[in-house]
Amino acid sequence: MVQSQVFSEKLKTTLNAYHNRAISTAQVIEELIALAKELDAATKRIEALGLTDDEVAFYNALAANDSAAAAMGDDKLKLIAAELITQVKKSLSIDWTLRESARARIRVMVKRILNKYGYPPDLQNVAVKTVLTQAELPCAAWV
């Protein structure tokens, strides 16, 4: 979710600039080539982390805040992502996205895991929201 938002926003900005005649067709092509290179670099970085697809999604949700990623480091974020996957999968029910009590239980569990690993407290609320949103995407397959 996080990666798709970043790349989608870059593509939208480029196309809006083109539609507003702020850049030429050649510049659009250059921007698209640069975006493709960024996508390739992101894919290679993900492969280097050695995480599953689900773990990568949660890792990206946690690393979305640059200061938290710098403070925690890749190894710690990988541990958190792995534990989040395990615990969230255990805690999901079929209707968890509809019932506020189920969402609250998962939200508390995510906060506990973030606290356990020392995720910066001032950034936890955003991380919890991002993790919950990320969990909604593949939840049908997990339940």
DSSP states of 72-116: H-HHHHHHHHHHHHHHHHHH--TTTTT-HHHHHHHHHHHHHHHHH
Where exactly are the structural domains of the chain? 2-49, 53-142
3-state SS assignment for residue 118: coil
Q: At which residue do the structure tokens 């569990």 appear?
A: 109
| Residue 51 pLDDT | 81
Residue 55: is it exposed, middle or buried by C-beta count within 10 angstroms (0-12/13-18/19+)?
buried
The first and second tokens of residue 84, run together, are 């989040």
What string of pLDDT tens digits covers the 143 residues of the chain? 567 777 788 888 888 888 888 888 888 899 889 988 988 887 787 778 788 877 888 888 888 777 777 878 888 888 888 888 888 878 766 656 666 787 788 888 888 888 888 887 777 788 888 877 777 765 555 54
User: CA-to-CA distance for 27 and 43, rounded, in angstroms?
Assistant: 24
Q: At which residue do the structure tokens 């255990």 appear?
A: 90
